[in-house]
Every structure is written in C-alpha cells, then in structure tokens.
Amino acid sequence: MADDLTVFEVFGRERKGEPHRHAGSLRAADAQMAVVLAQELFCRRKEYVQIWVVPRTAIHWAPDGDAPLGPEPQRVYRIGEGYRGTVEKWKRFGGDGDASRG
Amino acid sequence: MSDGRLEAFEARIARGDLVEADDWMPEEYRRQCFRLIVTHANSELMGALPEREWIPRAPGLKRKLSVLSKVQDEIGHAQMIYRVAEDLARPFGISREQMLDDLIEGKAKFHNVFSYPAPTWADVGVIAWLVDGAALETQGALLRTSYAPYARILRRICAEEAIHLKHGEDIVLTLASGTRAQRAMLQDAIQRWWQPLLHFFGPPDELSPNSERTFRWRIRTRTNEQLRQSFLRKYAPKVLSLGMEIPDPELRLDPETGDWHYGDPDWNEFWRVVKGGGARTEARLELRRMTREQQGWVLAAMADPTSAA
C-alpha cells in the first residue's frame, strides 16, 4: 500500500508575482491527493497564494559542485561589470557619467 | 575509507558547507542524522497525545480551538519530519511504516516529557509554554545543522512552535493572575514538570567518540548542557517573577558566569523514562496503536483513492 505512494515536492508562491519556492515534500497516491495534503501540511496559516506539487522523479538537475553554476568569472560580458567603461565613455559626449542612465 | 570521500566530506563540513539528501555521506553521518531526526518525529507524534486528551476538556471555545490547532500542528510536524527521515533511511531499507511500527512496539525513543500525565489545565499551559520553550531551544540550535533538508523544515516548525509557546504563556499568565486555587494549580504543575524539563535536554554530553563526531560533523552544534543553561537563563527568572516556586532548593544563579546551578535531577529517573518506564508511556503507546488500527482505513483510502467508494 504505502509502497505505491509517490513522493511529491511542494512549491509555494508567497505573493502574486513572486516565484514559487520549495516548501517541503510529502507522499501521496496521486497529484490530486498531493494537492489536498500540501494544503493540510503547508497552508495552515495563509502562507501561500498558490502551491504546486511535482513528482520528485520529474525533477532533474545539473551535476553540482562547490562553486555556483555558470560560466567562468572572466566572462564578464555576461554581467553588468563587463560594461563599467560606459561611465567614462559617456563623459566624452558631455554625459554626467551616471551608468544607470547610460 | 581509502578513496578520499570521507576526507573530502569532512573538509566540506569544516568549511561550513551543507549536506543535501542526494549527496554522498559517511554511513555513520547518515545513521546519526537518522537517529536524531526520527526521535524528533516520534516526539512530535507522541507530543500531541497529552494535549489531545485536553481538547474535549479545554475551558471555553477559544482555548479549545488553540489546543486543537496545536495538536494539528504537531501532527503536521511529525509528517514533515518523517518525510526527511524517510529519505535518509532509504539506504538502510527502513520505511516510514517501519518507523511507525518501531514506535508502537516500544523499540524507538521519543522525548521523556511525553511520558508524564497532564492531570490539570495548568499542565496544558506549562507544557505549551515550557516544554515547547525547551523544544524551541533544541530546535533553534538545530537550524544550524549541517543536514540541510532537516534545517529547512525546522525553519517552518520553529515558527509554529513559537506560536505554541505564546499560547502556553497566555494560559500560564491567566492562571498566575487568577484566584488562589488557580495559582495553586499552576504551582502544582510547575512542581510536576520542573524535573522532566531539566531531563528534556539529556544528561551532559560525555566526550565519547560518537559525540565528538556529532559536533565535528555539525549534526548538532550545541551540547545538552549549553541548551539546558540557555533554557534556564530564559525561563527560570520568568517562572520566579510570577511568584511561583521552583522545586529545587539548590537552584541559584552564578552571577559571574550567568549559569544556573541546579541540584542533581536524578538521571536514573530520566533513563527509566526514556527506556519506556514512564508513568504514561505504555498508555500513550497503546493509544497510538489503537489510533493506527482504527484509522488504518483512512490511510488505505488515501493510498488508493479510486477504490474508496
């Protein structure tokens, strides 16, 4: 009986517009029952405006290590830091150098 | 272990890294985490029982709803913690059903405090205030455990326990500002619970290889005695300020260290209780057995909703 139960991971959205965050996990016979149980377990105090349940087997992940995933830090062209020079460059055109407007 | 995995694991822990359920971990780390976590799950489940006895008898609807929701929370905590324990215990071939069987067969441990009777309404207040207060010390320290799935679920649990503590505090304050009979009832309950509360944290940790590893691996981060002292610093002054007596003639604050000196709390009694000899251990386990048997059909229906016509 219990061996037939599926492990579901539960994700909740705390406010409209926010991403869902992992809340915990539970076992249930099917997704419908998982939604019922997720409300019992994780929504007793109006914590979420929406919840998702996802069978754990549906989750896949990239191999993780100690460092954050992503390209090498010297690939600064992917992040704002790679374009810090715009402040100086704007000055040539009489700009005030405020990078946020550049 | 010559493949370097243990060394790499220990180095990770030493630099403050956290362990996830799918990570490689030494079997001994897994075993120690499992034991700690399943004992906590058992305690949440058994902890609901003394209060459950008071749902029909709570004075007034407001209190009844509070006790009812606390019991619901504790059962919810048990569900979440058994789930964490399940993932840890899979390589050992131990299922949740096995854990629940072990509990009702008296093979598994749970906290000493849930083996004592709660004869009066003041006991309900003292349990919710001081037992939950003690549990919050332990669980608050475990928020920093290296086993991340447990730490995550504890954040939610601690937030709810803090509300239970308020509920208990409210009952105690009401009784303390009540009639002479109410104050006497509160004093009696404190009399009954003080020693079990000191026991709650367990005897001072021996410096065994086991406990040395527990702390090195950051499964636990504070010793039993540190937790007990932290509890005493918070709650002993509060109990005394209510004009209540604490049943320990040796209890006194050391003004230099800030520690509380307490009389020998009879550790033989502690061992007797945690080994299943508490006044209500057998009766409460019997209640668990009965509940499991009588409500088995609910579980069966939930496991196979299509057949539950």
> CA-CA distance, B112 to B115, in Å (whole number)?
6
Of residues A99 and B251, the one with the higher pLDDT is B251
What ranges do the domains of chain B cover? 5-307
Q: Which residue has the tokens 């992040």?
A: A79
Q: What DSSP character marks residue B19?
A: B
Whether the CB of A33 is below 8 Å from some CB of chain B: the reply is: yes
- pLDDT for A102 beyond 50: no
Q: Facing residues of A30 across strands?
A: none
User: Terminal CA-to-CA distance of chain A, rounded, Å?
Assistant: 63
Task: Identify the H or E element spanning A32.
Answer: helix A31-42
Do A66 and B96 lie within an 8 Å CB cutoff?
no
- pLDDT for A80 beyond 90: no
User: Terminal CA-to-CA distance of chain B, rounded, Å?
Assistant: 54
User: How far does B127 lie from chain A, in Å, by closest CA?
Assistant: 22
Q: Are B118 and B284 in contact (CB under 8 A)?
A: no
Task: Identify the H or E element spanning A25.
Answer: strand A21-28
- pLDDT for B308 beyond 60: no
**Per-residue pLDDT reduced to its tens digit, B130-155:** 999 999 999 999 999 999 999 999 99
**Per-residue pLDDT reduced to its tens digit, B185-244:** 999 999 999 999 999 999 988 766 778 899 999 999 999 999 999 999 999 999 999 999
- pLDDT for B303 beyond 90: no
Neighbours of A17 (CB within 10 A): 7
CATH of domain A2-58: 3.10.20.520
**Per-residue pLDDT reduced to its tens digit, A10-23:** 999 999 999 999 99
Q: What are phi and psi of A9, to 5 degrees?
A: -90, 140
> CA-CA distance, B177 to B74, in Å (whole number)?
29
Of residues A86 and B123, the one with the higher pLDDT is B123
- pLDDT for B97 beyond 60: yes
pLDDT of residue A77: 79
CB-CB neighbors (< 8 A) of A2 in chain B: 95-97, 299, 303
Helices B27-52 & B209-216, crossing angle to 10 degrees? 90
Helix (H, G, I), strand (E, B) or coil at B71: helix
Tokens standing for A6?
Answer: 């599926």
pLDDT of residue B8: 93
Of the listed ranges B89-93, B187-191, B291-295, the least confidently predicted one is B291-295
What are the start-end ranges of the H helices in A44-85? none
Q: Quickly state the pLDDT bin for A100 (edges 50, 70, 90).
A: low
One-letter amino acid at A39 equals: Q
Q: Quickly state the pLDDT bin for B23 (edges 50, 70, 90).
A: very high
CB-CB neighbors (< 8 A) of B303 in chain A: 1-2, 4-5, 29
**Per-residue pLDDT reduced to its tens digit, B105-117:** 989 989 888 899 9
Q: Are B109 and B54 in contact (CB under 8 A)?
A: no
Q: Are B115 and B278 in contact (CB under 8 A)?
A: yes
Do B303 and A4 lie within an 8 Å CB cutoff?
yes
Q: What is the mean pLDDT of residues B284-296?
A: 90
> CA-CA distance, B193 to A88, in Å (whole number)?
71
> CA-CA distance, B160 to B175, in Å (whole number)?
23
What ranges do the domains of chain A cover? 2-58
Please give the CATH superfamily to which domain B5-307 belongs. Ferritin, core subunit, four-helix bundle (1.20.1260.10)
> CA-CA distance, B117 to B68, in Å (whole number)?
18
Whether the CB of A4 is below 8 Å from some CB of chain B: the reply is: yes
Do B300 and A26 lie within an 8 Å CB cutoff?
no
Whether the CB of B207 is below 8 Å from some CB of chain A: the reply is: no
Q: Are B189 and B126 in contact (CB under 8 A)?
A: yes
Q: Quickly state the pLDDT bin for B307 (edges 50, 70, 90).
A: low
pLDDT of residue B216: 94
- pLDDT for B63 beyond 90: yes
Q: What are phi and psi of A35, to 5 degrees?
A: -65, -40
- pLDDT for B89 beyond 90: yes
Of residues A87 and B263, the one with the higher pLDDT is B263
What are the start-end ranges of the H helices in chain B? 5-14, 27-52, 61-89, 96-104, 121-126, 132-142, 148-176, 180-200, 209-216, 224-241, 267-272, 281-294, 296-303
Mutation site for A-interface testing, chosen from B80, B84, B95, B97 by largest number of A Cβ within 10 Å: B80
Q: What is the mean pLDDT of residues B89-109?
A: 93
Q: What is the mean pLDDT of residues B274-295?
A: 89
Closest CA to B84 of B152, B149, B130, B164: B149
CB-CB neighbors (< 8 A) of B295 in chain A: none
- pLDDT for A3 beyond 80: no
